[in-house]
C-alpha cells in the first residue's frame, strides 16, 4: 500500500500561493509574483505526474483487477448525524488522477504564458492570485471525496471564474459578462444543490465511494415513481446534471460562455476551455454508475450534449470574433463529451463511451488550450479580436502559426493528431447506441473542421492586411507553452486510455473501426477543403453563400436569439410579473410594517419624554403620591 | 405612656414634622431650604425611634443607636450636599432647583 | 397636667410651629434660624425621654454643626436681604393635598393602633459607659461594625465634599 497522503499538498500549495500573492502580492514586483505562482504550479504539476505514475503503474489493483478508489486523505469536516457527515479529503481514482494531470498541465502552461501575456498589465499580481485560487478550487473539485465537497469547490470555481472574467473591471462589458456567467451558473447550481439534497436524503450519504460502489444505496432507494413518471433518483440525477450543464455551458444554459471571453485570454484557455467547463462532464462521469441505472437521465445527457454540439458548431461558423469562435467550438466539443457519456454503457466494451468521453476531455484540454493560447498570441500581436481585421499572419508569427495549425488539425480529427482518436471513439460509441445521434455528430465533425479552418485561413492566409505596427512573434514565455501543448496535442492520442480510464476500472481492448473512422476523416477533409476554397484567398464565395442561406445565416449569426429569449423572459416576464410585485410587497408591506412600528415608537416616545422634565420636585411629588397611595392600599384595601 | 405622655403624642408630633418637611421639599425652590427640609424629615424619624425605644423597649438601646447613626449620616449628607450646592452655584450662579434641568429628555 | 406633659406640649408646639415656619419663611436666614429652634426643641424631647447623651449630640452636631454649615452656605450663595419668591399655586396645591392626605392617613393609623399600655417609671438614665461599650462591642447588641462603616462614610463624605467644592483649575 502506498501512502498518498502527500496529495493534500496538491491542494494546499495553490491555496497557500493564493493567500501569499493575494495578500502580499503588491509588495512584490509583478514578475516575482508571476514566478512564485508558476513555480508553485510547477511543483504541483510534478506532484501530480508522480501521483499518476504511482497510481496507474505502481499501486496494486483491487481484487477484481480494477483500479482502486482510494481515499488518500480524509477528514470529517461537518458532523451532521452519525451516518451523514461532510468530509474533506482527496479521492484518487482513474478519472480524478487524469484530471489532476489535465488541470496542473494546462494551469502550468497558462501560468507561464501569462507572465508574457499579462506583462505590464495593471493588476498583474491580482491575476496570479486568482489563477492560484482557481487552481486550488478546480483541484479540490476533482479530488472531492464526496458530493458536498465537490459542491463547495464547484462554487469556488464559479467565484474564481467570475473574478477572472471580470478582471478588467473598468470595462462595462467585462463586468456584465462576469455577472452573467455568475448568475447563469449559479442558477444551474441551484439545480445541482437540489439534486444533492434529494440524493443525500434518499441515500443518506454524500460519499462517492459508497454512492458509486457496486452495492450503492442509490441503486435500491428512491426507485419508486415520484413525479412525472420518473423516480426520485432519476430526478436527482437530472437536477445534478442541470448543475453540470450550467458549468459546462450546455444548451440552454450556455449563454454565459461566449461572453466569458471578455476575460484575459489565458483565463479563457484555462477556465473556459480546458478545465472548468469540463467540470460538468466530470460530474456526470463521477456519478456515472448511478446514471447508468437512471436511463432517462442519461438520455437527457446524451441529447443535450448532441444538440449543443450541433447548435454550437453552426453558430461557430458565423462568428468573426476569434475567441467567440473558439468558445462555441468549446461548447461543441463538450457536447461531444456529454454525448459520449450519454450513449455509454457500463463495464468493458459497453463502457466505450465513458472512456471516449474522458479521452476526449483529456485531448481536448490540450488542443483547446493551445488554440486559445495561440489566439492570445495573435491578439497580442494584432490588438484585435476580429478575424476580418487579420490576414497573412503566417509570415509574422511562425511558431504560433505552426502550433495553431496542429491544434486545428487535432480538433478537426485528422490522424495522427490527438483529436482523431478520441473523437473516433465517441463516434463509434454513438454509432452503437443511436443512429440519429451518430449522424448529428458526423455533421458536427464536418462543421468543426470547416469553422476551424475558416478561422485558421482567415487569420494566417487570406489577405495581406496593412498593420499599424508590424506584428511580431510572442516572447518565449508564451511560445514555450504553445510548443509544449502542440506536442501534447500531437501525441496524447496514443495514450492507451482503454487500459487506464474506463467505466469500471477494468481494461479492455478496442480496435479502430475503420468503417467509421475513414468516413469521419473524409468528412473532416471535406470541411477543410471547403474552408480552403472559401477562405484561403480573398473572395466572396462565403458572403454569397451566407446571403443565399438568408434567415438561417442571420439567425445563426445572432446565436439563434437565445440571449434575446433570455432577456425577454427575465426582463419582460420575470421582472414585470414576479419581481415587481415582490418589490412592491417588500417596499410597502414589509418596509411599511417596519416603518409603522418605528413611527409609532417615535411618536409615543416623543410624547412620553415630557415626563422626564428635569424638575426634581415633580419627580418628588410623584414619588410621594405613589408612596401614599401604596400605603393607603396596604393599610385599608389589602387587609383581610 | 411615659410619665403621663402617651406614645401616640410623640408619634403624631413626628408625623406632622415629617409631612411639613415633605411639603418643604416639594415646594421650596432654593436648594438650601430643600436641604433644611430633609433635616426636618430626618429629625422626625429620630423622634419616633427614640420614643419607641424608650416607651416600648425600655431595657434596650437600639433606637438610640439608630438615632446616633442617622445623625452621623445626616452630617455626612449635609456636608456633601452643601459642597454640591456650592459647586452648582459656581456654575449656574443660582441655586434654584427649577433651573437644574440640564438632563431632561 | 404633669410637668412632663407640659414640657412635651411646649416642645411639641415649638417643633410644629417652627417646622412650618422653616418651610414657609421667605427669608432664608430666618428659615435657618427657625430650623435651629426645631432642632433644639428636638434635643429637648430627647432630654424629656432621658436620653441625655443623645440630646448632647443633637445640640452639638445639629445645632452647632449642621445649622452653622447651612448658614455659611447661605451666606456664600444668597444675599441676606433677598426675599425668596413665593412658590406658585401649581406646586403648592398638589403638595398640600398630598401632604395633608399622607398626614391624615398616618395619624389615623397611629391612633387606631393599640400600643401596649405600660406605665414607665422612666426616670433611669442611660449610662454613657454602656453606650461606649456597645459602640465598640462585637457581642450581641454591639455596634462595632456600623460604627466602623459610619466612620468610613464620614471619611468618604469629607473627601467627597472637599473634591466637589474645591475650585477647578480650568
Residues of A in contact with B98 (CB under 8 A): 615, 617
On whether both C138 and C99 belong to a single domain, the answer is no
Q: How far is C110 from chain A (nearest CA, A)?
A: 12
Q: Which residues contact A157 (CB under 8 A, 6 or more apart)?
A: A134, A137, A138, A141, A247, A271, A276, A279
Q: Across the interface, do B40 and C23 touch by the CB < 8 Å criterion?
A: yes
Which residues on B lie below 8 Å from C58 (Cβ)?
Answer: 46, 71
What was the pLDDT predicted at A603? 92
B59 CA to chain A: closest CA distance, Å? 30
Give residue C120's pLDDT: 58
Answer yes or no: do A614 and B22 touch at CB < 8 A: no
Rounded Cα gap, residues A500 and A513, in angstroms: 20
- Rounded mean pLDDT of A26-43? 85
Residues A564-574 have pLDDT tens digits of: 887 788 778 88
Q: Do C70 and B82 touch (CB under 8 A)?
A: yes
Average pLDDT over residues A29-49: 87
User: What's the pLDDT score for residue A600?
Assistant: 94
CB contact (8 A) between residue B100 and residue A616: yes
Residues near A111 by Cβ (< 8 Å), separated by ≥ 6? A34, A37, A38, A41, A128, A131
Same domain flag for C141 and C77: no
Mean pLDDT value of segment A92-115: 88
CB of A303 closer than 8 Å to CB of A342: yes
The answer on C80 and C29 residing in a single domain is: yes
Q: Does residue C59 fall inside a structural domain?
A: yes
* CB-based contact C42:B46 (threshold 8 Å): yes
pTM of the entire structure?
0.67
- Interchain proximity B101–A621, CB inside 8 Å: no
Cβ distance B72 to C148 under 8 Å?
no
Whether residues A624 and B105 touch (CB distance < 8 A) is answered with no
Q: What is the mean pLDDT of chain A?
A: 84
Contact B20 C23 (CB under 8 A): yes
For chain B, list the contacting chains (3+ Cβ pairs, <8 Å): A, C
Q: Are A225 and A167 in contact (CB under 8 A)?
A: no
pLDDT at A637: 81
- At residue A1 the predicted structure's pLDDT band, cuts being 50, 70 and 90, is low
What is the DSSP pairing of strand A70-79 with strand A85-92? Answer: antiparallel
Interior CA angle at A43 toward A40 and A47, to 5°? 140
Residue A89 belongs to what H/E stretch?
strand A85-92
Please tell me the predicted confidence (pLDDT) of residue B70. 92
**Chain-chain contact of C102 with A621 (C-beta, under 8 angstroms):** no
C100 contact residues in B (CB cutoff 8 A) = 19
Closest CA to A150 of A280, A333, A321: A280
Q: Looking at residues A538-542, what average pLDDT do you find?
A: 73
The pLDDT, as a whole number, for residue B40 is: 92
Do C95 and A625 count as a contact with CB atoms less than 8 A apart?
no
Eight-state DSSP code of residue A638? S
Give A599's pLDDT tier (boundaries 50, 70, 90): very high
Per-residue model confidence as pLDDT tens digits over A421-433? 888 888 888 888 8
- Alpha helices per DSSP H over A317-434: 322-342, 352-382, 398-412, 418-433
The closest CB to that of C101, out of A617, A628, A635, belongs to: A628
Q: Are residues C134 and C53 in the same domain?
A: no
Residue B44: per-residue pLDDT: 93
Say whether both C107 and C130 belong to one domain. Answer: no
Q: Which three cell numbers stand for residue A350?
A: 459497453
Domains of chain B by range and CATH? 7-99 (1.10.287.3510)
- Taking the C-alpha atoms of residue A343 and residue A366, their distance in angstroms, rounded to an integer, is 24
pLDDT in tens, A480-533: 888 888 888 888 888 887 777 877 777 777 777 777 888 888 888 888 888 888
- Enumerate the residues of chain A whose CB falls inside 8 A of the CB of residue B22: 624
**Chain A positions in Cβ-Cβ contact with residue C94 (cut-off 8 Å):** 621, 625
Are residue C80 and residue C140 in the same domain, yes or no? no
Written as nine digits, the cell of C166 is 474645591
Phi, psi angles (nearest 5°) of residue A392: 60, 25
CB A28 within 8 A of CB A69: no
Does residue C118 sit within a domain? no
What is the domain-level CATH number for residue C98? 1.20.120.1200
Most confident of A63-77, A78-92, A576-590: A576-590
Residue B92 Cα distances to B96, C74, C114, angstroms:
9, 16, 52
Same structural domain, C9 and C36: yes
The per-residue pLDDT of chain B, averaged, comes to 87
Residues of A in contact with C101 (CB under 8 A): 628
Q: Is residue C170 part of a domain?
A: yes
In the numeric block, which cell numbers belong to residue A255?
449563454
Chains near A, with 3+ CB pairs < 8 A?
A: B, C
The verdict on residue C120 lying in a domain is no
**Residue partners of C89: CB distance under 8 A and separation at least 6:** none
- Cβ of B50 and C161 within 8 Å? no
Least Cα separation, residue A635 to chain B (angstroms): 17
Burial letters A462-493, b for 16+ CB under 10 A, else e: beeeebeeebebbeebbbbbbebbbebbbebb
Q: Supply angle C-alpha A91, A93, A97, rounded to 5.
A: 90
CB pairs under 8 A between B and C: 225
C66 lies in the same domain as C24: yes
DSSP β-bridge partners for residue A70: A92
* Residue from the list C66, C99, C122 with its beta carbon closest to the beta carbon of B78: C66
The residue behind cell 467570475 is A162
Q: Which of C48, C77, C85 sits opposite B32 (nearest CB)?
A: C77
Asked if the peptide bond before residue A278 counts as cis, ω within 30 degrees of 0, the response is no
Asked if A61 contacts A5 with a C-beta cutoff of 8 angstroms, the reply is no
Judge whether A621 is closer than 8 Å to chain B, CB to CB.
yes
User: pLDDT band at A626, cuts 50/70/90?
Assistant: very high
Comparing CA positions, the residue from B28, B43, B27 lying closest to residue B78 is B43
Domain assignment present for residue C119? The answer is no
pLDDT at residue number A640: 62
Q: Which residue of C has its CA nearest to B80?
A: C161
Structure confidence at residue A401 (pLDDT): 86
For residue A614, list chain B residues with Cβ-Cβ distance below 8 A.
Answer: 100-105
pLDDT digits (tens, 9 = 90+) for A276-330: 888 888 888 888 888 888 888 888 888 888 888 888 888 888 888 888 888 888 8
Shortest Cα distance, chain B CAs vs residue C35, angstroms? 7
Looking at the fold, whether C79 and C1 belong to one and the same domain comes out as yes
Specify if C80 maps to a domain: yes
Instruction: Flag if B86 and C165 touch (Cβ within 8 Å).
Output: yes
What digits encode the pLDDT tens for the residues A200-234? 888 878 888 888 777 777 677 766 666 777 788 88
Q: Which residue of B has its CA nearest to C15?
A: B17
Choose between A149 and A70: higher pLDDT.
Answer: A149
Q: Does residue C116 form part of some domain?
A: no
Residue of B nearest to A623 (CA): B26
Grid cell of A256 as nine digits: 454565459
The answer to whether the CB of A238 falls within 8 A of the CB of A297 is yes
Percent of chain C with pLDDT strictly greater than 70: 93
Q: What is the pLDDT of residues A386-409, one digit of tens each?
A: 877 777 777 788 888 888 888 888
Q: Are residues C156 and C103 in the same domain?
A: no
- Which residues from B are below 8 Å from C42, CB to CB? 43, 46-47
pLDDT at C18: 94
Per-residue confidence band for B43, with pLDDT thresholds at 50, 70 and 90: very high
CA angle A212, A54, A131 (to 5 degrees): 75
Whether B22 sits inside 8 A of A609 (CB atoms) is no
Do both C28 and C102 map to the same domain?
yes
Predicted confidence at residue B67, as pLDDT, reads 92
User: Under a CB-based contact definition with an 8 Å cutoff, are residues A106 and A269 in contact?
Assistant: yes
Averaged pLDDT for residues A31-36: 84
What parts of chain C have a pLDDT lower than 70? 1, 118-125, 169-170
d(Cα A545, Cα A317) in Å, to the nearest integer?
12
- Provide the pLDDT for residue B54: 85
Dump pLDDT digits (tens) for A164-182.
Answer: 888 888 888 888 888 888 8
**C-alpha cell of residue A152:** 463547495
Is residue A348 classed exposed, middle or buried when 0-12, 13-18 and 19+ CB atoms within 10 A define those classes? middle
- One domain for residues C88 and C146: no
Using the beta-carbon criterion (under 8 Å), do C105 and A631 form an inter-chain contact?
Answer: yes
Burial letters B25-34, b for 16+ CB under 10 A, else e: bbbbbbbbbb
Listed residues C64, C82, C111: the one ending a domain: C111
Of C28, C45, C160, the CB nearest to B33: C28
> If we measure between CA atoms, which residue out of A175, A337, A179, A164 comes closest to residue A244?
A337
Cα–Cα distance measured from residue A98 to residue A91, given in angstroms and rounded to the nearest whole number? 12
Residues of A in contact with C102 (CB under 8 A): 624, 627-628, 631
* Structural domain harbouring C9: 1-111
Contacts of A252 (CB under 8 A, 6+ apart): A562
Share of chain A above pLDDT 90, in %: 4
- Say how many domains are in chain C: 2
Check CB contact under 8 Å for A625 and C98. Answer: yes
CA-CA distance, C38 to C67, in Å (whole number)?
11
Nearest CA in chain C to A621: C95
Report the gap between the CA of B23 and the closest CA in chain A (Å): 9
Question: Is B25 within 8 Å of C102 (Cβ atoms)?
Answer: no
Is the minimum CB–CB distance between C168 and chain A shorter than 8 Å?
Answer: no
Shortest Cα distance, chain A CAs vs residue B99, angstroms: 8
Is there a contact between B20 and C20 if contact means CB atoms under 8 Å apart? Answer: yes
Is there a domain that residue C66 lies in?
Answer: yes
Whether B67 contacts C54, CB under 8 Å:
yes
Shortest Cα–Cα distance, B6 to chain A (Å): 23
Q: How far apart are CA A99 and CA A141, in angstroms?
A: 10
Amino acid at each position: 500500500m502506498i501512502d498518498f497522503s502527500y496529495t493534500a499538498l496538491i491542494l494546499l500549495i495553490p491555496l497557500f500561493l493564493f493567500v501569499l500573492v493575494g495578500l502580499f502580492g503588491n509588495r512584490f514586483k509583478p514578475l516575482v509574483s508571476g514566478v512564485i505562482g508558476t513555480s508553485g504550479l510547477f511543483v504541483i504539476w510534478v506532484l501530480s505526474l508522480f501521483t499518476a505514475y504511482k497510481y496507474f503503474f505502481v499501486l496494486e489493483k483491487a481484487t477484481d483487477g480494477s483500479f482502486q478508489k482510494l481515499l488518500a486523505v480524509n477528514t470529517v469536516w461537518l458532523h451532521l448525524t452519525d451516518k451523514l457527515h461532510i468530509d474533506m479529503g482527496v479521492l484518487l481514482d482513474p478519472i480524478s488522477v487524469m484530471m489532476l494531470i489535465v488541470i496542473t498541465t494546462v494551469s502550468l502552461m497558462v501560468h507561464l504564458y501569462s507572465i508574457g501575456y499579462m506583462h505590464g498589465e495593471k493588476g498583474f499580481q491580482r491575476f496570479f492570485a486568482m489563477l492560484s485560487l482557481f487552481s486550488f478550487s478546480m483541484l479540490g473539485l476533482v479530488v472531492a471525496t464526496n458530493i458536498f465537497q465537490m459542491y463547495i469547490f464547484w462554487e469556488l470555481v464559479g467565484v474564481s471564474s467570475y473574478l477572472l472574467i471580470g478582471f478588467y473591471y473598468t470595462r462595462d462589458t467585462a463586468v456584465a459578462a462576469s455577472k452573467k456567467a455568475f448568475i447563469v451558473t449559479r442558477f444551474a447550481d441551484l439545480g445541482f444543490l437540489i439534486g444533492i439534497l434529494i440524493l443525500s436524503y434518499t441515500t443518506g450519504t454524500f460519499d462517492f465511494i459508497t454512492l458509486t460502489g457496486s452495492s450503492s444505496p442509490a441503486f435500491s432507494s428512491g426507485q419508486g415513481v415520484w413525479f412525472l413518471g420518473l423516480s426520485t433518483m432519476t430526478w436527482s440525477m437530472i437536477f445534478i446534471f442541470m448543475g453540470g450543464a450550467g458549468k459546462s455551458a450546455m444548451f440552454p444554459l450556455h449563454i454565459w460562455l461566449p461572453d466569458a471571453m471578455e476575460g484575459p485570454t489565458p483565463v479563457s484557455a484555462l477556465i473556459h476551455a480546458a478545465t472548468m467547463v469540463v467540470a460538468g462532464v466530470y460530474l456526470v462521469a463521477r456519478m456515472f454508475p448511478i446514471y447508468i441505472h437512471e436511463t432517462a437521465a442519461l438520455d437527457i445527457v446524451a441529447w443535450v450534449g448532441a444538440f449543443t454540439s450541433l447548435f454550437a458548431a453552426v453558430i461557430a461558423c458565423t462568428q468573426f470574433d476569434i475567441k467567440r469562435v473558439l468558445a462555441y467550438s468549446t461548447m461543441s466539443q463538450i457536447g461531444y463529451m456529454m454525448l459520449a457519456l450519454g450513449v455509454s454503457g457500463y463495464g468493458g466494451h459497453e463502457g466505450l463511451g465513458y472512456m471516449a468521453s474522458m479521452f476526449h476531455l483529456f485531448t481536448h484540454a490540450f488542443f483547446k488550450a493551445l488554440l486559445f493560447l495561440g489566439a492570445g498570441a495573435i491578439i497580442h500581436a494584432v490588438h484585435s479580436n476580429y478575424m476580418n481585421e487579420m490576414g497573412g499572419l503566417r509570415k509574422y508569427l511562425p511558431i504560433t502559426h505552426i502550433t495553431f495549425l496542429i491544434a486545428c488539425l487535432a480538433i478537426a480529427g485528422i490522424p495522427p493528431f490527438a483529436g482523431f482518436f478520441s473523437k473516433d471513439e465517441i463516434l463509434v460509441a454513438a454509432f452503437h447506441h443511436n443512429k440519429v445521434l451518430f449522424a448529428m455528430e458526423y455533421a458536427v465533425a464536418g462543421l468543426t473542421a470547416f469553422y476551424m479552418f475558416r478561422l485558421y485561413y482567415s487569420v494566417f492566409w487570406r489577405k495581406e492586411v496593412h498593420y499599424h505596427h508590424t506584428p511580431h512573434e510572442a516572447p518565449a514565455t508564451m511560445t514555450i507553452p504553445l510548443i509544449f501543448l502542440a506536442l501534447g496535442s500531437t501525441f496524447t492520442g496514443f495514450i492507451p486510455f482503454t487500459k487506464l480510464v474506463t467505466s469500471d476500472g477494468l481494461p479492455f481492448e478496442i480496435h479502430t473501426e475503420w468503417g467509421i473512422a475513414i468516413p469521419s476523416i473524409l468528412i473532416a477533409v471535406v470541411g477543410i477543403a471547403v474552408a480552403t476554397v472559401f477562405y484561403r484567398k480573398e473572395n466572396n464565395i462565403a458572403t454569397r453563400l451566407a446571403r443565399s442561406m438568408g434567415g438561417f445565416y442571420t439567425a445563426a449569426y445572432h446565436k439563434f436569439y437565445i440571449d434575446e429569449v433570455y432577456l425577454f423572459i427575465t426582463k419582460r416576464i420575470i421582472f414585470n410579473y414576479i419581481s415587481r410585485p415582490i418589490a412592491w410587497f417588500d417596499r410597502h408591506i414589509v418596509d411599511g410594517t417596519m416603518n409603522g412600528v418605528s413611527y409609532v415608537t417615535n411618536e409615543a416616545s416623543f410624547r412620553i419624554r415630557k415626563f422626564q422634565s428635569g424638575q426634581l420636585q415633580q419627580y418628588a411629588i410623584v414619588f410621594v403620591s405613589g408612596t401614599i397611595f401604596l400605603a393607603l392600599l396596604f393599610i385599608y384595601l389589602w387587609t383581610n | 405612656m411615659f410619665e403621663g405622655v402617651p406614645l401616640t403624642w410623640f408619634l403624631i408630633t413626628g408625623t406632622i414634622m415629617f409631612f411639613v418637611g415633605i411639603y418643604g421639599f416639594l415646594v421650596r425652590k432654593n436648594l438650601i431650604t430643600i436641604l433644611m427640609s430633609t433635616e426636618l424629615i430626618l429629625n422626625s424619624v429620630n423622634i419616633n425611634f427614640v420614643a419607641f425605644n424608650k416607651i416600648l423597649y425600655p431595657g434596650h438601646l437600639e433606637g438610640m443607636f439608630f438615632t446616633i447613626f442617622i445623625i452621623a449620616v445626616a452630617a455626612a449628607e449635609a456636608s456633601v450636599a452643601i459642597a454640591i450646592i456650592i459647586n452648582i452655584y459656581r456654575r449656574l450662579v443660582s441655586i434654584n432647583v427649577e433651573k437644574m434641568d440640564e438632563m431632561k429628555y | 397636667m404633669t410637668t412632663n406633659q407640659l414640657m412635651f406640649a411646649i416642645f411639641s408646639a415649638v417643633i410644629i410651629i417652627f417646622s412650618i415656619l422653616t418651610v414657609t419663611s421667605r427669608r432664608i436666614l430666618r428659615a435657618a434660624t427657625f430650623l435651629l429652634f426645631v432642632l433644639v426643641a428636638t434635643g429637648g424631647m430627647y432630654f424629656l425621654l432621658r436620653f441625655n447623651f443623645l440630646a448632647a449630640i443633637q445640640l452639638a452636631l445639629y445645632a452647632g454643626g449642621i445649622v452653622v454649615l447651612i448658614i455659611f452656605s447661605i451666606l456664600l450663595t444668597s444675599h441676606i436681604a433677598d426675599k425668596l419668591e413665593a412658590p406658585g399655586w401649581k406646586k403648592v396645591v398638589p403638595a398640600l393635598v398630598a401632604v395633608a392626605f399622607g398626614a391624615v392617613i398616618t395619624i389615623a393609623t397611629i391612633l387606631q393602633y393599640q400600643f401596649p399600655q405600660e406605665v414607665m417609671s422612666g426616670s433611669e438614665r442611660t449610662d454613657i459607659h454602656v453606650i461606649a461599650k456597645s459602640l465598640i462591642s462585637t457581642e450581641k447588641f454591639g455596634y462595632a461594625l456600623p460604627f466602623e462603616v459610619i466612620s468610613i462614610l464620614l471619611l468618604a463624605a469629607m473627601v467627597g465634599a472637599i473634591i466637589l467644592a474645591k475650585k477647578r483649575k480650568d
